[in-house]
Amino acid sequence: MIRRIFHNGPILTERGFEHGLRVVVEDGCIVEVAAGGAQEADETIDLGGRHLAPGFIDIQVNGGGGVLFNNSPTTEAIATIGRAHRRFGTTAFLPTLISDTDAAMERAISAVRHAITQGVPGVLGIHLEGPYLAPARKGTHEEAMFRVPDARDAERATSLGNGITLITLAPERVPAVILRLMAQRGAILCAGHTAASCAEIEAGLRAGITGFTHLFNAMSPLQGREPGAVGAALADAESWCGVIVDGAHVHPTSLRVALAAKPRGKVILVTDAMPMVGSADPSFRLYDQTITAIDGVVRNATGALAGSALDMASAVRNTVALVGVPLDEACRMASQYPARFLGLDARMGRIAPGCRADLVAFDEDVRIHRTWIAGEAD
């Protein structure tokens, strides 16, 4: 048994960042959070006044470290993406496949299955963003890849077996019986890239949708006589909403509206990150076109937003600076709340006894000092 003790820094608990606590980790699991400093241990980690929070959980990671998952649906690519994002505090993530062919989907699911089996750090499952999307809200997705799923498609999309499957889809494009089948087979369903009316979204919620992918982006807007997907999302108290807080995707006032409308804990941070995160190369190829980040904003050849160059540490920092959310709550939006959305909050996303020791230490400017996954340092 390996015993590690973290001390000498503010620790994020349910009450906020608290001083004078120690966190005791044994064999990768938190066993104690209590008042006091260091005790006898195999390893003592002096935080030197840095904050200690649960590691960040990112449910939408298209790429990182110069790699796009669509272009390299392999276990090695997943490991590279994970290493790139870990530098910015992400200790758990869903590799995300943008709309692609059936064969590419099968390769991606197989790669994630193998990555989990091989213990690639941080991999929780897969996010399939499409191909069951609406052409009118396609964003940078290739419309030629879109299709209406049948039972065979549903079985393929939910075939991972050893991890979480999250599927972003347009509910108006997917028969209710298929939504129910996907949910029955264990998938978490999110509405996204959708032109649905409010009524169509509400029908999707009844059929098994529990979340919304990058709220406000690539979905029908809130208007006075037609609330659209955004209005349905904000009005529904039970569903979760992912938001990209990079200063480009959503105006800070819109984010404050979402936080005011949704119950606490229902808005979570995502990056929608592309390969330039953790890489010096600002460009990559998708669907035979060049995508480039200019001044931190990622756009395709037509000028449309195409994912982001955002990392989770920056998302937390921006949520504090742009939206005015307290640091402890911004950290929960990056850890505890996504864990709850994924059904993992009993063992992840909190610094509490019984949880896996996925931890991140950072300074007052949310610059990452070090991360731990199951108690093992980077």
What is the rounded distance in angstroms from the CA atom of residue 38 to the CA atom of residue 295? 44
Average confidence (pLDDT) per 10 residues, the chain, 378 residues: 94 97 97 87 94 98 98 98 98 98 98 98 98 96 97 98 98 98 98 98 98 98 98 98 97 98 98 97 92 92 91 98 98 98 97 98 98 96
Q: Are residues 189 and 311 in the same domain?
A: yes
Q: What are the DSSP calls for 121-161, one per residue?
A: TTB-EEEEE-SS--GGG-TTS-GGG-----HHHHHHHT---
Q: Are residues 138 and 39 in the same domain?
A: no
Residue 79 is predicted with a pLDDT of 98
Residues 6+ apart with CB under 8 A from 329: none
Please tell me the total count of domains within the chain. Answer: 2
Q: Is 35 exposed, middle or buried (0-12, 13-18, 19+ CB in 10 A)?
A: exposed
Q: Are residues 15 and 71 in the same domain?
A: no
Q: At 24, which CATH number? A: 2.30.40.10
> Is residue 348, in this structure, part of any structural domain at all?
no
> Is residue 346, in this structure, part of any structural domain at all?
no
Q: Are residues 291 and 361 in the same domain?
A: no
Residue 304 is predicted with a pLDDT of 87
Q: Are residues 370 and 266 in the same domain?
A: no
Q: Are residues 279 and 358 in the same domain?
A: no
Residue 288 is predicted with a pLDDT of 86
> Is residue 309, in this structure, part of any structural domain at all?
yes
Residue of 58, 153, 236, 272 marked catalytic: 272
Residue 303 is predicted with a pLDDT of 86
Roughly how many angstroms between the first and final C-alpha of the chain, as a whole number? Answer: 20
Q: Are residues 24 and 92 in the same domain?
A: no
> Is residue 216, in this structure, part of any structural domain at all?
yes
> Is residue 347, in this structure, part of any structural domain at all?
no
User: 8 near 18, Cβ under 8 Å?
Assistant: no
Angle of helix 176-184 relative to helix 198-207, nearest 10 degrees, comes to 40
Residue 3 is predicted with a pLDDT of 93
Q: Are residues 48 and 99 in the same domain?
A: no
> Is residue 182, in this structure, part of any structural domain at all?
yes
Catalytic status, residue 272:
yes
Residue 39 is predicted with a pLDDT of 82
Compute how many other C-beta atoms are within 10 angstroms of the C-beta atom of residue 251: 12
Q: At 266, which CATH number? A: 3.20.20.140
Q: Are residues 214 and 252 in the same domain?
A: yes
What is the rounded distance in angstroms from the CA atom of residue 354 to the CA atom of residue 345? 10
Q: Are residues 212 and 225 in the same domain?
A: yes
Domain that holds residue 373: 3-53+354-377
Distances (CA, A) of 166 to 196, 270, 318: 20, 14, 26
Q: Are residues 86 and 41 in the same domain?
A: no
Q: Are residues 155 and 40 in the same domain?
A: no
> Is residue 167, in this structure, part of any structural domain at all?
yes
Residue reference for tokens 């990150």: 273
User: 364 near 327, Cβ under 8 Å?
Assistant: no
